[in-house]
Amino acid sequence: MHDVIVIGGSFAGISAALQAARARRRVLVIDAGSRRNRFASSSHGFLGQDGRDPAAIIATARAELLSYPTVTWLDATAAAVRGLADAFVLELASGDYVQGKRLILAAGVTDELPAIPGLAERWGTSVFHCPYCHGYELDGGRIGVLATSPLSFHQAICFPTGDRRRTSRAACSSRPPTSSRRCHAGVSRSSAAPCVH
Ligand SMILES: Cc1cc2nc3c(=O)[nH]c(=O)nc-3n(C[C@H](O)[C@H](O)[C@H](O)COP(=O)(O)OP(=O)(O)OC[C@H]3O[C@@H](n4cnc5c(N)ncnc54)[C@H](O)[C@@H]3O)c2cc1C
């Protein structure tokens, strides 16, 4: 019986497991190995780790975690859970079972990319989800924002660096929803793009 079972062994799961381990709990981390940023070769904006390969960050974090003797790591997929606190039963995809008193869900999210030819191959190298993580590196070239939701407009306008005219034009391909206009107006002071509200 584990004190804590953590589903997901990436940034969130390892962080949670580390604190539990330091509280001298018996911790089991179950990880399916599909870290969200596995497509990127560098990570940015993470204090003390800027520019480092995320795989290397995770390898270090995992090694530090596993130096605690009460931590066990399982490369596996959690398939189902039943029970209540103090008596969870977790079924693995393999059909095996493990038991734990507490459960931490750190399974992350899965990016569902639009079906645009060429997009999936470029995901994490020249197509990104977040201007704060990778915008600085892209700023030397032309930038497009793929608008998949009203928040996409906000993302284009709030692009943190460089030539705001360029990002504003990209955003103008779809008109902003009302909720985005305040941000847009704030940025447009330094923008010569035609979409000033
Ligand atoms: C291309 C790209 C680049 C990025 N670059 C940056 C960056 O530069 N800086 C930055 O701060 N952030 C960046 N991010 C965001 C960053 O990747 C996420 O914020 C971070 O990975 C979230 O960590 P997490 O632990 O919550 O989830 P994840 O990293 O998604 O990890 C979840 C883990 O849970 C596992 N899992 C899921 N379901 C199960 C299950 N049923 N059983 C067992 N295990 C399971 C998965 O296999 C995975 O290992 C980037 C994201 C992408 C997509």
| 23-27, 32-36, 164-168: segment of lowest average pLDDT | 164-168
Closest-CA residue, ligand 1 atom 35, reads: 8
Could you identify the atom of ligand 1 that is nearest to the CA of residue 44? 8
Ligand 1 mean position, distance from CA 10 (Å): 6
Main-chain phi, psi angles of 184, to 5 degrees: -60, -45
Tell me, what's the pLDDT at 161? 52
> 63 Cβ partners below 8 Å, 6+ apart?
none
Type of residue numbered 7 = I
Tell me, what's the pLDDT at 148? 83
Q: At what angle do helices 164-171 and 181-188 cross, to 10 degrees?
A: 150
**Token reading at 2:** 């584990």
As a whole number, mean pLDDT of residues 114-129 equals 92
In this structure, the number of other CB atoms found within 10 A of the CB of residue 149 comes to 9
Taken in order of first residue, the domains within the chain and their CATH numbers are 2-105 (3.50.50.60), 119-188 (3.50.50.60)
| 92-101, 154-163, 181-190: segment of lowest average pLDDT | 181-190
Tell me, what's the pLDDT at 131? 80
Work out whether the CA dihedral 7, 129, 19, 9 comes out positive or negative: positive
More confident residue, 25 or 175: 25
The tens digit of pLDDT for each residue in 149-160 reads 888 778 777 765
Closest-CA residue, ligand 1 atom 52, reads: 37
The tens digit of pLDDT for each residue in 126-148 reads 898 888 888 888 776 777 888 88
Tell me, what's the pLDDT at 183? 30
